[in-house]
Chain A
Amino acid sequence: MLELQTKQQAKSAVKKRKGLDSEGRWGLLLVSPYLIHFLVFVVGTSVASLYFSFSDYDILNPPKWTGLDNYAKLFEDPLFYRALWNTVYFTILYVPAKTFLALLLAVALNQKLKGLKFFRMVHFLPVISSWTVIAYVADAVFNQRIGFANAFLSKLGLAPQNWLIDEFWVIPVLVLIAIWKSVGYMMIIFLAGLQGISSDMYEAASIDGANAWQKFWRVTVPMISGTTFLVVILNTIYSFQNFEQIFVMTGGSTEAGSTGGANNASLVLMLFMFRQAFSFFKMGYASAIAWVLFLILLAITLIQFKLQKKWVHYD
């Protein structure tokens, strides 16, 4: 009797374990595509990239280990500093202006204005367009010969500018276009955040006699700081990796060597890396650039996370 009971218990225990195993097996089976993705295309490629960055590799011949040569060369390359500065300059102009404008737009639309859907759609038009389309839209405004910006200047009696080639103008104009393209997207993220603020906060502020401006700075801005933080992080990462816009707008050709603007005025880090890899086939050097870019980005993101304690409010 006792024996039978133990047997049954053992049997059910086996059954239970077998059941768990089956679910476990199914689980692993179903996630296996991502396991392959992760092992081959994340871990494998990262290890390979790190190895390449310490070697001389032109694709045709096997990589030759050269130690820190690529990194040493990089830190002596004036083009690297040029590209680094251009990238930082782009980010400094781009991230704060875009964040502020997107927040203002979201606040305006959050007042339950009529035609919300229409305004949202208008602001999404550039978001859904490829950079190739945007390049022609930007041409309509900033092209040296046919653009309306120069027509306007000449009406004022001012000299026309070569907006997308001129060393002084190229980055600010690219930033302006980049903000124009994607401010609608960030506006939606802010709108979602704004809808999470309870109206009690505004009523309390009204009772205390706050005007609209004070409400914006004292209630909206602090209450939305979590979203703002996220938008700043996303945009900084985007800005450091901006390739498509620069590639399409300051070259206009698939011949990789021909891009980067006059005197490399719009050569950013991603374009610098792309050129080394796919125009000159210096895969080792390009990998070193990629790692330096990655480390810079990591450092900036970590600093932003550290700084968030100072200005991001969580309830």
Chain B
Amino acid sequence: MQKRFPLNKIVGYLFVIASALIMLVPFLTTVFNSLKTYKQYMQFPPEWLPNPAQWSNYTTVWEQANFSSYTINSLIVAILSVIGALLSSSMIAFAFARLRFPFRDTLFMIVLGTMMIPGIVTIVPQFIIFKNLGLLDTLAPLWILEWLGQPFAIFLMRQAFLNIPKDYEEAAKLDGCNPFQIYWRVFLPMCKPSLATLAVFTFMGKWNEILAPVIYLISDENFTLPIGILSLSGQYKTEDQLLVAGALISLIPILIVFLFAEKYFVEGSKTSGLK
């Protein structure tokens, strides 16, 4: 048995290292592609390393295209979504976890149910609602629903609130707090890790989203990063290496968020598997 154990580990290492290389090498190749001249980018057979590295590709794409405007739009959508998700979903979840009110359990079953139902059937009417509200070609349809609570976020926060001992609630009640004050002053500060998880997930989802921006945004100055880059590749057929640089720029903020909040990302991934 002692002999078998290391063998397992060796096989495990080989497998994981091979897999890690399969993950990393295409990314590195892309980074190198972003540093090539157009001529070198198009050459066949391709050369792996850029020679010499064109760091100016990054500044060129930033200056030439509407990149700063795409970035600001993406930031607006992601930040407003995060704020909305943190405020509303936690408030709704607190009520489900801690307050007694009519039809509470039925309503919570509905929340869980809507988590299972795919959103396909609602795309067309939702578009028509936002169109009639005059919100077409604005950023509002991309973040506004987060302010009305999302099933996954409600589920995640409810789990966190359920884990807090009842004593805190009772002590706050004796001090004369109403339910909203208990939620805001006592429970919310105790759930920072779950709030962080929710924030990371919402930010990432919104930063990378493509379907809603494609449906709702029409003019270039309102585009978010993913579809801004997509539209550039449709418009300018040349200078592809600049677009690669642009795509990699759009990855930087999410990479930073991920490096700082890896713990919460892993936590959220696990949670999404539990239900």
Proximity bits, A122-136, B CB within 8 Å = 1, else 0: 111110111111011
Residues 259-275 of B contacting A (Cβ, < 8 Å):
262, 265-266, 269-270, 272-274
Which one of A1-9, A46-54, A67-75, A260-268 contacts B?
A46-54
Residues of B184-227 at the interface with A, using a CB-CB cut-off of 8 Å, are 204, 207-208, 210-211, 214-215, 225-227
Chain A contact residues, majority secondary structure: helix
B227 & A254 in contact (Cβ 8 Å cutoff): yes
Q: Across the interface, which residues of A come within 8 angstroms of B111, CB to CB?
A: 34
User: Whole-angstrom distance between the alpha carbons of A106 and B254 in the complex?
Assistant: 24
B122, A297: Cβ atoms under 8 Å?
Answer: no
8 interchain residue pairs of minimum CB distance: A27-B101, A253-B234, A189-B273, A130-B208, A37-B148, A27-B99, A30-B95, A45-B125
**B179 contacts the other chain (Cβ, under 8 Å)?**
yes
Provide the bound-state CA to CA distance between A237 and B211, in Å.
Answer: 16
CB of B184 to closest CB in A, whole Å = 11
Task: State the Cβ distance, A218 to closest chain B Cβ, in Å.
Answer: 15
- Contact across chains for A192 and B273 when beta carbons are under 8 A apart: yes
For residue B250, which residues in chain A have a CB less than 8 angstroms away from its CB? 130, 132-133
Given the complex of chains A and B, what is the CA–CA distance between A120 and B259 in angstroms?
12
Contact between A254 and B234, CB atoms less than 8 A apart: yes
Q: List 26 A-B contacts (CB under 8 A).
A: A23-B101, A24-B102, A27-B101, A31-B95, A31-B101, A33-B149, A49-B124, A108-B13, A108-B15, A109-B12, A113-B16, A130-B208, A130-B225, A130-B254, A145-B44, A151-B44, A180-B26, A188-B270, A188-B273, A244-B210, A252-B230, A253-B233, A254-B234, A255-B234, A287-B124, A290-B121
Q: Which of B19, B95, B128, B262 has most A Cβ within 10 Å? A: B19
Chain A residues packing against B (C-beta within 8 Å): 20, 23-28, 30-31, 33-38, 40-42, 44-46, 48-50, 52, 59, 104-105, 107-109, 111, 113, 117-126, 128-133, 135-141, 145-148, 150-151, 154-155, 180, 184-185, 188-189, 191-193, 206, 211-212, 227, 230-231, 234, 237, 240-241, 243-244, 247-248, 252-256, 270, 273, 277-278, 283, 286-287, 290-291, 293-294, 297, 301
B residues at A contact (CB < 8 Å): 1, 4, 7-9, 11-13, 15-16, 19-20, 22-24, 26-27, 29-30, 33, 41-46, 88, 91-92, 94-96, 99-102, 104, 107, 110-111, 114, 116-118, 120-129, 131, 145, 147-149, 154, 178-180, 183, 204, 207-208, 210-211, 214-215, 225-227, 229-231, 233-234, 243-244, 247-248, 250-251, 254-255, 258, 262, 265-266, 269-270, 272-274
Cβ–Cβ contact A38 & B247, under 8 A: no
Contact in complex: A31, B107 (CB < 8 Å): yes
* B24: A residues at CB distance < 8 A: 122, 125
Q: By the criterion CB–CB under 8 Å, are A49 and B122 in contact? A: yes
State in angstroms the CA–CA spacing of A146 and B128 once bound together.
Answer: 42
Among A31, A191, A283, max chain B CB count under 10 A is at: A31
Query: Complex formed: what's the CA distance from A113 to B7 in Å?
Result: 12
Q: Secondary structure of the B side of the interface?
A: helix
Question: Which residues of chain A are within 8 angstroms of B226 by Cβ–Cβ distance?
Answer: 130-132, 248
The answer, among A23, A241, A286, for a CB contact under 8 Å with B100, is: A23
Which residues on the A side are within 8 Å of B110 (C-beta)? 38
Given contacts A37-B148, A189-B272, A290-B120, contact A30 B91 (CB under 8 A): yes
Q: Which among A27, A36, A287 has the greatest number of chain B C-beta atoms within 10 A? A: A27
Which B-chain residue is minimally distant from A107 (CB atoms)? B12
- Rounded to whole Å, the gap between the CB of B228 and the closest CB of chain A is 9
Whether the pair B45, A154 counts as a contact (CB closer than 8 A) is yes
Given contacts A41-B145, A140-B33, A252-B234, contact A278 B215 (CB under 8 A): yes
- Least Cβ distance of B50 to chain A in Å? 12
Contact yes or no, B13 A113, CB < 8 A: yes
Whether A297 and B247, one on each chain, are in contact in the complex, defined by CB atoms closer than 8 angstroms, is: no
In the complex the two chains form, is B12's CB within 8 Å of A111's CB?
A: yes
Chain A residues with Cβ below 8 Å from B43 are 146
**Docked-complex contact A119 and B16, CB < 8 angstroms:** yes
Residues of A within 8 A of B100 (CB): 20, 23-24, 27
With A27-B179, A30-B94 as given contacts, are A206 and B1 in contact (CB-CB < 8 Å)? yes
Tell which of A20, A46, A248 has the most Cβ of chain B within 10 Å.
Answer: A248
